[in-house]
Chains A and B, each alone.
Chain A
Amino acid sequence: MNDDELLHRLQASDPASSLPPADPDRAARLLEDVMSTELTTENRETGTHDRSPLTWLVAAAAAVIIAGAGIFAVMNLNDDSATPTAIDTPAASDPTVTELSAPDAAAYAAKCMVPNPEVLAEQTVAFDATVTSIDGTLVTLTPTTWYAGDPTDLVEVQAPSAEMQQLLSAVSFEQGGRYLVSATDGRVTLCGFSAAYSDDLASMYAQAFAG
């Protein structure tokens, strides 16, 4: 079989040969959406390359909504006792742990802005994890992906019992569930920024912490 015959045979089997051209309106809209994407992550191009698809769509939607956004309560909370700590123990057998705490009571009553990649990108800790245990004052998660912060084997969210109850109901942590969690100043962010795993939220995380 010579080159031409091979080429011909391959082209006869081109899976795209039956692909209809894109709808021009849709194509134009796609380009418009892309160009309206905020370029805030440009300077972090060399970081992770783990962006999910359709992040532009989420970003575009968020950019519209953000104009009318309210207070993002958790951002101005800080408390020395709650600095995130990535404890790197030299002993190989000990798992490393990131310790977080629940936001203080005011956060639950505060108004929320719609979750968006811009604000999410400012969180110092962000990860995708499964809840491995919950007891009265401690939720333990096993992270699978780190979007921000120093990766550790485990994450422990600690809170006094009453606050923990509020946190559990705000984020609805459940044993065995998969969550996307972010935190700043050692406190878990609420308002939908930390929530049960969903493709949409995962896209936003990927967008916010994209290289």
Chain B
Amino acid sequence: MDESRRERFEEIAPGLMEPVRRFLARRTDPETAEDVLAETLLVCWRRVEEVPDLPLPWVYAVARNCLHNAERAARRQDRVAARLMAQPDDPGPPDDQALHEALAALRPEEAELVRLWAWEQLTPAEIAVVLGISPNAASTRLTRAKKKLSDLLRKSAARAGHEESREGRRS
């Protein structure tokens, strides 16, 4: 039984590593990302029998839970303060301040839907697995979130006028 476990894990894990690393890099600081990657792989190893044939959405869901746990623990340990102070040193995302602000203005669930769609490039059915909601709900909520994000971006572009277009090109 141990051998088949190992075989299965060795079959799926190498393909999961990079996507999960990227998933975490998009959502937390490098140190936490590294910790949570290890934690996520450990959960996959423990629960290898449960990993579905299309593992990624399931594994993203695991990574998401592990990340939440890590962040809860970090809040308890005041590591958040240290992380916030460390942030200015981070290279950060490419310079699209308007997009950054628009994403931040979405509700957290909406922003996560949009990120899973654009960055992890998941289908609504896959997003549904990650978030533990029905495919229909994922689909309608994603549509709504995308529209809301577009509206926010349009408004901020209109507000900023020329200034925005100049800033938008800087990078």
Contact = CB atoms under 8 A, between A and B. Distances in A.
Interface of A: 1, 3, 6-7, 9-19, 21-22, 27, 30-31, 33-35, 37, 39, 41-42, 45, 49-57, 144-145, 199, 202, 206
Contacts of A21: 18
B18 A22 contact: yes
Contact of B26 (A16, A31, A202): A16
Given A10-B119, A53-B34, 20 more contacts: A1-B154, A10-B99, A10-B118, A12-B94, A15-B92, A16-B119, A30-B41, A34-B9, A34-B38, A34-B41, A34-B45, A41-B46, A45-B47, A50-B73, A51-B39, A53-B38, A53-B66, A53-B70, A54-B39, A56-B39
Majority-rule SS of A interface residues: helix
B125 to A, nearest CB: 17
B69 to A, nearest CB: 6
18 contacts: A6-B149, A7-B117, A10-B118, A12-B94, A16-B26, A17-B94, A34-B9, A34-B38, A35-B9, A49-B65, A49-B69, A50-B72, A53-B38, A54-B38, A55-B39, A56-B38, A57-B38, A206-B73
Contact of A13 (B18, B22, B39, B96): B96
Given A27-B14, A51-B69, A52-B70, A14 B119 contact: yes
A17 to B, nearest CB: 7
A90 to B, nearest CB: 30
Contacts of B25: 15-16, 19
A41 B110 CA distance: 35
A16 B22 contact: yes
